[in-house]
Amino acid sequence: MAMSVDLPPTRPASAARRPGFLSRLFAEYGQEIVVLAAIVVLFIVVTMVNPRFISANNLTTIFAGNAYIAVAAIGMSMVIVTGNIDVSVGALIGVLATISGTLAVAGYPVWVAWFFPVLVGMAIMGVQGVLVAYARIPSIVVTLGAMSILRGGLISVTGGTWISGLPSEFLLAQQRWFGVPSPIVMMVVLTVLAFLWMRYSAFGRSLYAVGGNPEAALATGIPIERRIVAVFVIHGAFAGLATILFATQLQVIQSTVPPNLELTVITASVIGGVSILGGSGTVIGSTLATILFAAIGSALIFVNVSAYWLRAVIGLLILATVLADMMRRRGKA
Amino acid sequence: MNLKSLIRHETFLALLLVAVLIVLSFQSDRFFTVSNLLNQGRLMTETGLIAIAMTFVIATGGIDLSVGSILGLVAILTGVFWHNVGMPLGLAAVAAIAVGTFAGFVNGLIITRFRVPPLIATLATLALYRGLAEGISQARSVRGYPDWFYVLGQGEVLGVPTQLWILVAAAIIASVILAYTRWGRTVYAIGSNEVASRFSGLSVEKTKLALYTASGFAAAVAAVIFVSRVSTTRSDMGTGIELDAITAVVLGGTSIFGGRGTILGTVIGLCLIQALKNGLSLAGVKGDGTIMLIGAVLILAILASNLFERSGTR
């Protein structure tokens, strides 16, 4: 590769001292800003074509209906930041939703039906974390195997039947808190808390070190194995919280695995700026990306594009975002 | 040396396969019959072709998640080119395969030119190619192919299913290329240390571009065989086949980090999975129970080989 010998242009000392606030913001949160800008542009353009796009009804569908994906993507982002991946999360959410619905129909108190699956999710992900950290099986292999086990197990136990007759107080996602649909409140609160925790706590910072430079992390005294197990357990908890929102949306729960859910969650994390190589990214980005996908899906309907082309358009946008991100990173380097 | 542990993994796997075959033949007297075994070969060809190409890709430390979507796209295009565009069926199949190969080439371009990690690049094209298949098909399927077309997926040549010949030929050619050619050694070198390979003057980018193109080609051929076998086209064909193929490859001892792996291992992995699927269904276990078992086998096989390896080399 050719080496550049151009010297940077000389600048007055005062300006050279420190880059401005905006450029620092962009350097650190470039991808998040790009996704946010895409959302804003999309909303403006689609609303001009069809003003009903920003009706309260449709906004609720976009934000509340997809909040569970954003919540699951928080945990996934943490896993990816440590340099691992989880393809079993879709199957896990399917299993947990079935457990949750079965408990609710069997007459257990609703808080048991909501939170017992969270514990199950933490346990299942904890086992996977141990296999990754201590048995040193690559996370793609462990979670691929776990996906088969969970998916096969779910269908052979339930036969893919629908769970109906859910008690109305179980339907948390249909509630409103402070006048706002509860999934939106949960999505925003969890995203902000997770972001602050990852950015300012010693534990959160150490996750970036584990993913960015494991050798340096080890030299600094970070127990890498324990961190990886912990991050999988936390990811399991977020999958459980996502399940609460997913399972309580409708009057029925279909006891199968939502198709391609794991890919949607991974894609949201990555498009939101979490580097698949580990070591960088924030959960604000993953939540914004979830909203962007949901908005695109809805927008296509409002501008009368056939639903059959939905995935192609989303795929094209994912590809464009990834390519733009790679160009941006290369430009910076 | 590395070779020793390779041999060990495949020996271990082959023994496991023999054990499974013996157990299954006691479970059902219909299992160990020539017609059943040949039929199983028929069923594993599509995954097999993809897994063989995937072995090369994974051996370089890459991955291709878009193969299932390429399969769906090529299947749809075969039907559309023939039925809607009016091409002769043979030409339609060739044209569809060409598109599938191009789809693989696009993967390669994204990965080599833009330096997008393969997992992300093919995740994006997984959505894109499946989306194209759905958009083009508009949920319509094409049926009613001429009889000669079914020879590929349902017919026999010399008493053996037609597509099994293709799989065997592909496996032999691929293992010779991977084990004995300069090009095959390049694949391992890239997987072991990409930077060092580049400094050694190996054409890393060209090799990778060729591999992802080949992966698209394999998925495309599998698509035409698939259509011929099931006599129809649907846009959701091949969903999840990438995971079956990756399972076979990894089970076969190819390191997910690249640098080692053999076609023989992949083929044994394939046979093992297919034998389990078939044997269990004959024993009355439903397909979903089998999926569970495959997941468990995948994790346990890698766990076992990790334990062997650590006691040996470290």
Band (A8; pLDDT cuts 50, 70, 90): very low
Residue with tokens 């059943």: B36
| CB burial of residue A178 (10 Å; 0-12, 13-18, 19+) | exposed
pLDDT at A6: 42
pLDDT at B7: 60
Q: CA distances (Å), B45 to each of A44, B39, B41, B154, B189, in order? A: 50, 10, 6, 12, 29
Q: Which residue has the higher pLDDT, A11 or B71?
A: B71
3-state SS, residue A6: coil
Res. A4: pLDDT tops 50: no
Among A22-26, A115-119, A143-147, A317-321, the range scoring the smallest mean pLDDT is A22-26
Find the helix or strand (DSSP H, E) in which B23 lies: helix B2-27
Q: Can you tell me the ipTM of this complex?
A: 0.78
Q: CA distances (Å), B97 to each of B71, B108, B141, B218, in order? A: 9, 17, 18, 9
Beta-bridge partner residues of A181: A176
Band (A7; pLDDT cuts 50, 70, 90): very low
State how far the Cα of A139 lies from the Cα of A267, in Å rounded to an integer.
17
Separation in Å, CA of A142 to nearest CA in chain B = 6
User: What's A181's DSSP letter?
Assistant: E
Evaluate whether A282 touches A198 at the Cβ level (below 8 Å). yes
State how far the Cα of A142 lies from the Cα of A228, in Å rounded to an integer.
13
Cβ of B124 within 8 Å of Cβ of A322? The answer is yes
> What are the extents of the domains in chain B?
45-263
To probe the interface with B, which of A95, A127, A137 has the most B CB atoms within 10 Å?
Answer: A137
Res. A156: pLDDT tops 50: yes
To probe the interface with A, which of B63, B125, B254, B298 has the most A CB atoms within 10 Å?
Answer: B298
Between vectors from CA A17 to CA A12 and to CA A19, what angle results, nearest 5°? Answer: 105
Cβ of B138 within 8 Å of Cβ of A326? The answer is no
State how far the Cα of B70 lies from the Cα of B241, in Å rounded to an integer.
11
The total of other beta-carbon atoms located within 10 Å of residue B212's CB is: 30
Beta strands per DSSP E along A203-331 = 253-254
Q: Which residue has the higher pLDDT, A276 or A318?
A: A318
Cβ of B127 within 8 Å of Cβ of A313? The answer is no
Give the helix, strand, coil percentages of chain A, each rounded to 5: 75, 0, 25
Cβ of A314 within 8 Å of Cβ of B127? The answer is yes
Res. A301: pLDDT tops 60: yes
Residue B249: closest C-alpha in chain A: A141
Pairing relationship of beta strands A162-163 and A253-254 according to DSSP bridges: antiparallel
pLDDT at B308: 67
Question: CA nearest A214: which of A133, A150, A268?
Answer: A133
**What is the value of pTM for the model shown?**
0.81
State how far the Cα of B278 lies from the Cα of B36, in Å rounded to an integer.
9
Which residues of chain B make contact with A131, given a CB cutoff of 8 A? 299, 303
Cβ of A137 within 8 Å of Cβ of B302? The answer is yes
Evaluate whether B60 touches B260 at the Cβ level (below 8 Å). no
Which pair of structure tokens corresponds to residue B145? 């192919």
Burial B13-35 (b: 16+ CB within 10 A, else e): beebbeebbeebbebbeebeeee
State how far the Cα of B166 lies from the Cα of B228, in Å rounded to an integer.
14
pLDDT at B6: 55
Structural domains of chain A, with CATH: 53-332 (1.10.3470)
Residue B73: closest C-alpha in chain A: A312
Average pLDDT, chain A: 83
Separation in Å, CA of B295 to nearest CA in chain A = 4
Residue B127: closest C-alpha in chain A: A315
Q: Which residue has the higher pLDDT, B176 or A32?
A: B176
Q: CA distances (Å), A235 to each of A73, A141, A242, in order? A: 9, 17, 10
The ranges of chain B with pLDDT < 50 are: 1, 312-314
Q: Which of A112-116, A220-224, A325-329 has the highest mean pLDDT?
A: A112-116
pLDDT at A226: 92
Cβ of A152 within 8 Å of Cβ of B288? The answer is yes
Cβ of B247 within 8 Å of Cβ of A322? The answer is no
pLDDT at A2: 41
* Segment A6-23 mean pLDDT: 54
Band (A279; pLDDT cuts 50, 70, 90): low
Residue A156: closest C-alpha in chain B: B288
pLDDT at B3: 57
* Segment A281-296 mean pLDDT: 87
pLDDT at B313: 41
To probe the interface with A, which of B114, B205, B237, B285 has the most A CB atoms within 10 Å?
Answer: B114
